[in-house]
């Protein structure tokens, strides 16, 4: 049985919450080396580069963004394309390394 996190909580949501908390205890991003967060649903990917010290999202790319919607799917090829896009955006803002 799942622990009550919100009004209707599924086992999948609960497992994802505990996994996220366990990772966040170990990994923290700074301005020099920000943290990269990757979320994959059945249809979309979302990648963020986050500075935890200031609490800001530095780079955000998703398959739902303008210009990418409908062209990238949630598969291996789509992940490669999105990775290249995230790298380009990060280099534009002069971030060369991150923690995953």
Give the CATH number of the domain where residue 60 resides: 3.30.420.100
Give the domain range for residue 50. Answer: 28-92
Q: What is the mean pLDDT of the chain?
A: 83
Looking at the domain assignment, is residue 47 inside a domain? yes
Question: How does residue 48 score in pLDDT terms, banded at 50, 70 and 90?
Answer: very high
Strands 45-51 and 56-62: antiparallel
Residue 23, domain member (yes or no): no
Closest CA to 100 of 59, 49, 40, 55: 49
Task: Give the mean pLDDT of 20-45.
Answer: 84
Residue 1 has pLDDT above 60, yes or no: no
On whether residue 97 sits in a domain, the answer given is no
Element (H, E) at 17: helix 11-26
User: Structural domain tally of the chain?
Assistant: 1
Question: How much is the pLDDT for 23?
Answer: 81
Banded pLDDT at 24 (limits 50, 70, 90): confident
Q: Give whole-number Cα distances, 29 to 46, 49, 99, in Å.
A: 18, 9, 7
pLDDT band at 67 (very low <50, low <70, confident <90, very high): confident
Using DSSP's 3-state secondary structure scheme, residue 19 falls into: helix
Q: Is the pTM above the cut of 0.85?
A: no
pLDDT at 50 over 60: yes
- Tell me the pairing of strands 45-51 and 35-40: antiparallel
User: Which whole number is the average pLDDT over 35-39?
Assistant: 88
86 occurs within a structural domain:
yes
């Amino acid at each position: 049985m799942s622990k009550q996190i919100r009004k209707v909580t599924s086992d999948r949501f609960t497992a994802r919450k505990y996994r996220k908390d366990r990772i966040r205890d170990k990994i923290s991003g700074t301005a020099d080396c920000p943290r990269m967060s990757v979320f994959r649903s059945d249809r979309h990917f979302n990648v963020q580069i986050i500075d935890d010290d200031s609490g800001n999202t530095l780079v955000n790319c998703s398959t739902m963004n303008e210009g990418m919607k409908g062209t990238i799917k949630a598969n291996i090829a789509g992940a490669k394309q999105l990775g290249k896009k995230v790298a380009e955006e990060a280099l534009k803002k002069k971030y060369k390394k991150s923690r995953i």
